Amino acid sequence: MPKITGTPSVNTFTTVWTNEFTAAVKRAAGSNGKLSAAEAKKMATRTDGDQLFADSALELIKARGNKAVDVTALATDAKAYAKRAAEVAAGNDGKLSLADGAKLPKDLVEDFFFLRGQKAPTPPTPGVLTLPQLKSAVEVATQGLTLMSETDANLRFVSANGIGTTAITPHLLRQKLTYQHDRLIDSVMSGGTPLAKRTGSEVRDAQAFLTRLATPSDPSDPASVDQARRFGELKTLLESQLTDLTVVRFGSINISTFIVGRTKNGELAGVLTGQVET
């Protein structure tokens, strides 16, 4: 029997999913009212529907440092996560069609179709994305996502053809991405200036940079947990599609930050964002 009929609004899906998630984790949690990673993994072996929520529970526990989490706190994290994911998938009309449901993060797709009384579509075989496909995937992953420093900066997709095996250096980015930078920087953050006026550059380790973003600054804050999870999804996407992933920062105080790498076809691709550091 479907738990959701018709095309639900974001709020309807969030409420129903959260209620089902909460009931499942309560059944799986120990007598102390907390769910551990081991208990969440045991959830995955059930066959009554509770198993569908095990993957989300594991990820939320991981975001809190892999420690057992109080069921109420876990439900709060889950609600914030599901709402944000549903908003992105639903788009402007605020409703989740079956096609929109397939756009949810992979741990929510089967849940959505189960609640609708439908069988989840078979996911596409992972593979190399074309540049337009990568652009679309990055835009979905970064919609509404901001990099926080002393300001909030949006993330914008950037790319350039034909770098082949050329090393990804600050000089290469100035050559290939100056035009895109100058066109996009005002939509990234306030106080943007042309790349040519940003003197000095710094190269950072991309894995360490993205891992920090994918770690909640406050594991007790649902918004922090949700943002870290989304950066984790972006990290996974970029690492699956790009090699030689590199972070290059230009300027001081008001800093243009590129997170870019090389596609399998020898293109330059990634995101432009920014930071303010005084």
On whether both 208 and 107 belong to a single domain, the answer is no
Residues 6+ apart with CB under 8 A from 157: 134, 135, 138, 139, 142, 269, 270, 271, 272
| pLDDT value of residue 140 | 85
Number of domains present in the structure of the chain? 2
Q: What is the pLDDT of residues 88-136, one digit of tens each?
A: 888 888 999 998 888 888 889 999 999 999 888 766 555 788 999 899 8
DSSP-derived letter for residue 68 is -
Residue where the block lists tokens 């095996």? 165
On whether both 259 and 191 belong to a single domain, the answer is yes
Helix ranges (DSSP H) in the chain: 10-28, 37-43, 54-63, 71-90, 98-101, 106-115, 131-142, 170-188, 206-213, 222-241
Q: Of the candidates 115, 146, 173, which is a domain's last residue?
A: 115
Asked whether the beta carbons of 258 and 180 are under 8 A apart, the reply is: no
Q: What is the pLDDT of residues 156-209, one digit of tens each?
A: 999 999 899 999 999 999 999 999 999 999 999 987 789 999 999 999 999 999
On whether both 149 and 66 belong to a single domain, the answer is no
Q: What is the pLDDT of residues 212-249, one digit of tens each?
A: 999 888 888 878 888 888 999 899 999 999 999 999 99
What's 162's domain CATH number? 3.40.1460.10
Q: Please count the CA atoms within 13 angstroms of the CA of 219 that sit on its side-chain side.
A: 14
On whether both 152 and 74 belong to a single domain, the answer is no
| pLDDT value of residue 225 | 84
Which is nearest to 155 in space by CA: 261, 260, 272? Answer: 272
Give pTM, 2 decimals: 0.62
Q: What is the pLDDT of residues 51-81, one digit of tens each?
A: 999 999 998 998 888 889 999 999 999 999 9
On whether both 103 and 195 belong to a single domain, the answer is no
Could you list the residue range(s) of the whole structural domain that residue 254 is in? 131-276
Strands 243-250, 146-148: pairing is: unpaired
In a domain, 122, yes or no: no
- Please tell me which residue, 223 or 265, carries the higher pLDDT value: 265
In a domain, 125, yes or no: no
Report the alpha-carbon distance of residue 85 to residue 69 in Å, rounded: 22
